[in-house]
Amino acid sequence: MLNQLDQLPPGILEYTANELHSFLGGPTLIRIEGGREPPLFVSVLIHGNETTGWDAIRYLLRQYHPGGGEKPLPRSLWLFIANTTAAAQGVRHLSGQSDYNRIWPGTGASSSQETQMMEALVNACAKNGLFASVDVHNNTGLNPHYGCINKIRNADLHLASMFSRTIVYFTRPLGVQSIALSEICPAVTLECGKIGQQRSIAHASEYLDACLHLSEHPAHPLPLKDAQVFHTRAIVKIVDGISVGFGDSSLGFCLRLDLERLNFRELPPGTSLGKVPPGVPFPVQATDEQGQDITADMFYLEAGKLITKRPLMPSMLTPDLEIMRTDCLCYLMEPYDTQVALSQSVSSQA
């Protein structure tokens, strides 16, 4: 069940992410009054081991009255502290537990107490109204800091560009926080690099502070020079039953050792991602945003290697084998012309 509080509990900012469950007892929405309405919605610890969001909030709120600071909070804040049980154990989610970023309204997951909790939370947000939504995450592989959006709208593009010139537009997977809340307000997901980096905490905190100080969202188009937008074309998963790892040629799929260094680099056709011994089935499956299998358009096997068939730009490649098995190997992206998309949207509304 969702805990709901109408003020920041005294002393909460002293707790680290793995200590929060002992203090809160479960997922908690904290409504903090500020100078402007409607509130900024911020979610942290949707994945329990991605702690930058909570650390950024701790630093930020200490500057303002609710956290013992000297300044009034410029805008009301709805803070959702999500998977505290997973955070207590330092994992993405518990074994047998749903991924908290796959169970928001629009998910294909079966109904459960957790999906019902997220639905009730979104309904409360819709009833109250939100200024914007920010969901803070970390990566397990080498990736730049970037912002993700789910709708090509001027407000969302500006919101993401405040965090990074690199913006990723995606509409899959389903059931993620930002897709659900983008139906209510401009919404962005922050990808803040690896866990535990002070520069990531500072960057996220500064960004959230800037959002709290916004009086309105810019209505004009984002200048092309201010951002580079990519569209997630496909998700690539390891096929069930295929053993995978690094540097062991006896595995079903032996990945190249420098795999994570390929993130956000355009790979030319003919790039090898790893070795596949004779007799091993095709090790990956690529699925587009419509759920269609496009593996054959992306990869082929040659001389015992998995080879790219066309220019590809991956993201989220990681050395973490558990993430690779339970989530995905990577996403595949392509440059995206937001000006064309915005003009088509205007034409369709005319």
Q: Domains of the chain, with CATH numbers?
A: 3-226 (3.40.630.10), 232-335 (no CATH)
Q: Is 91 exposed, middle or buried (0-12, 13-18, 19+ CB in 10 A)?
A: middle
* Cβ contacts of 43 within 8 Å, gap of 6 or more: 53, 79, 80, 82, 133, 134, 135, 136, 177
pLDDT at position 197 is 95
- Cα–Cα distance, 237 to 196 (Å, whole number): 27
Residue 301, token pair as written in the block: 């096997």
Rounded distance between C-alpha atoms, residue 106 and residue 136, angstroms = 20
- Residues in the chain predicted with pLDDT less than 50, given as ranges, are 346-350
Q: Are 163 and 214 in contact (CB under 8 A)?
A: no
Q: How far apart are CA 281 and CA 255, in angstroms?
A: 15
Q: How much is the pLDDT for 43?
A: 98
- CA-nearest of 40, 41, 28 to 74 is 40
Measuring CA to CA, which residue among 84, 177, 83, 76 is closest to residue 122? 177
Instruction: Provide the pLDDT for residue 229.
Output: 95
What does the pLDDT read at residue 128? 98
So what's the pLDDT on residue 349?
46
